[in-house]
Amino acid sequence: MSNDDINPVIVVLISGSGSNLQALIDAIAKREIEGTISAVISNRNDVLGLKRAQKAGIKTHVVDHKNYAQREIFDAQLIHQIDQYEPDLIVLAGFMRILTPDFVRRYEGKMLNIHPSLLPKYPGLHTHQRALENGDTEHGATVHFVTSELDSGPNIIQAKVPVLKQDTPDTLSVRVQEQEHIIYPIAVKWYVEGRLQMIDQQAMLDEEQLPESGLLLSSNQTLH
């Protein structure tokens, strides 16, 4: 998107607790991100993320995947809801559905995801457990553009955390999520300011190609 857009429109897709959504709501409230979350769409009823959105005065929709026999029909309904808002950016924030290639193609270059691992390590589920089982000494989270392969697509930003001897999947996930809440708002801010783009399957920041890992967040980095 170009930085002439005055108030970029963001649609957020969730399936659960919405703590990343909350981080975005807070960053927008503090004017750290100049944009509006026009809608939050969940594939599950009754999740905390919907309550967080409602509390912030954001419109919510539920498109329950269980009501759709085929993934294509579910995705078509999702597209219908999303497109009503004519979003500049679609943010997947814990959205636990595999998307069809048509869906991904439609929003390619304007859809971001956050994944709880240092991609390309550990696409898919149970990332914290897998990092522990493999005896990794560091783990983390990645924000990336969404392309048609699961949890792939050019990396934008990563944050690392050390893996401690006494860690369990739960303790590790808490530490990783703290970092998620820092890096996702940074990536969204870059995007809505027109600084971040996907060109030829590469993530570009300020017209420079980002490293394959994405930019690595250093421990003293703030939102800028």
- Tokens standing for 97? 């559905």
- Tokens standing for 69? 């026999």
Report the residue from 13, 19, 100, 144 that binds ligand GRF according to the rule CB under 6 A.
19
Report the residue from 129, 152, 177, 213 that binds ligand GRF according to the rule CB under 6 A.
177
Stretch binding ligand GRF (CB under 6 A), from 11-19, 27-35, 78-86, 208-216? 11-19
User: How many residues bind ligand GRF, per CB under 6 A?
Assistant: 15
Indicate the SS3 state at residue 158.
strand
Stretch binding ligand GRF (CB under 6 A), from 17-25, 34-42, 54-62, 208-216? 17-25
Indicate the SS3 state at residue 128.
helix
Nearer to ligand GRF, 112 or 141 (CB): 141
| Catalytic residue from among 115, 139, 144, 181 | 115
Dmax over CA atoms of the chain, in Å, equals 49
- Residue 213 near residue 118, CB atoms below 8 Å: yes
- The DSSP line for 162-209 is EPPTT--HHHHHHHHHHHHHHHHHHHHHHHHTT-EEEETTEEEETTEE
x/- mask, ligand GRF, residues 32-51, rule CB under 6 A, reads: -----------------x--
Report the residue from 8, 35, 116, 140 that binds ligand GRF according to the rule CB under 6 A.
116
Stretch binding ligand GRF (CB under 6 A), from 10-18, 56-64, 79-87, 213-221? 10-18
Residue nearest to ligand GRF (CB): 94
Q: With binding defined as CB under 6 A, does residue 60 bind ligand GRF?
A: no
- The question of whether 115 is a catalytic residue gets the answer yes
Nearer to ligand GRF, 22 or 197 (CB): 22
Please choose, from the candidates 219, 203, 223, the residue with its C-alpha nearest in 3D space to the C-alpha of residue 211.
Answer: 203
- The DSSP line for 67-126 is G-SSHHHHHHHHHHHHHTT--SEEEESS---PPPHHHHHHTTTSEEEEESSSTTS--SS-
Q: With binding defined as CB under 6 A, does residue 213 bind ligand GRF?
A: no
**Binding residues for ligand GRF restricted to 125-154, rule: CB under 6 A:** 141
- Residue 63 near residue 41, CB atoms below 8 Å: yes
**Binding residues for ligand GRF restricted to 71-110, rule: CB under 6 A:** 93-94
Please choose, from the candidates 84, 93, 127, 97, the residue with its C-alpha nearest in 3D space to the C-alpha of residue 112.
Answer: 93
Q: Which positions are annotated as active-site residues?
A: 115
- Where do contacts with ligand GRF occur on this chain (CB under 6 A)? 14, 16-20, 49, 93-94, 114-116, 141, 177, 180
